[in-house]
Copies of this chain bind each other. A is one copy, B any other.
Amino acid sequence: MDLKQMQDFFNSNDLFAKSLGMRIVSLDEGYARAWMELQKEHTNGEGIAHGGLVFSLADFAFAAASNSHGSSAVSINVSIAYHKAVEKGTLIAEAKEIARNFKLATYYVAIWDESNELCASFQGTVYRRKKQLGE
């Protein structure tokens, strides 16, 4: 798969992300940007974006970025810090590669609201398998 095919793969085959209205809008080697529009059914008991929703958007960008080199990547560990509640509008998650070797790779994902304010910081590590994505 080339990068365009991978982007389509993620947007078509990640059914969870799809059901939440998430899209990979940009993909490059070691890089991905994901987008979504916040809906009422994405909120928690306080009426703000659910922590799991914010995490999921970041995780979607993380999955795309970490699989972008071709080999299938499995999430091992993630840490997230929440900085600011999100009440409405669009959310953007941008994943960048921090480090990568043969077996492991680590990514930083920033999550921004529609005012370009940083809402959460996500750092995740994957184990890189021998099999290729989609095999």
Contact = CB atoms under 8 A, between A and B. Distances in A.
Contacts of A45: 9-10, 13-14, 63, 133-134
A83 B101 contact: yes
The CB with the most chain B CB atoms within 10 A, among A42, A81, A98, is that of A81
Contacts of A15: 40-44
B99 A127 contact: no
Dominant secondary structure at the A interface:
mixed
Interface residue tally on A, bucketed by range: 35 or more
Interface of A: 9-10, 13-19, 40-46, 50-53, 55-57, 59-60, 63, 72, 74-84, 98-99, 101, 103-104, 106, 108, 118, 121, 123, 125, 127, 133-134
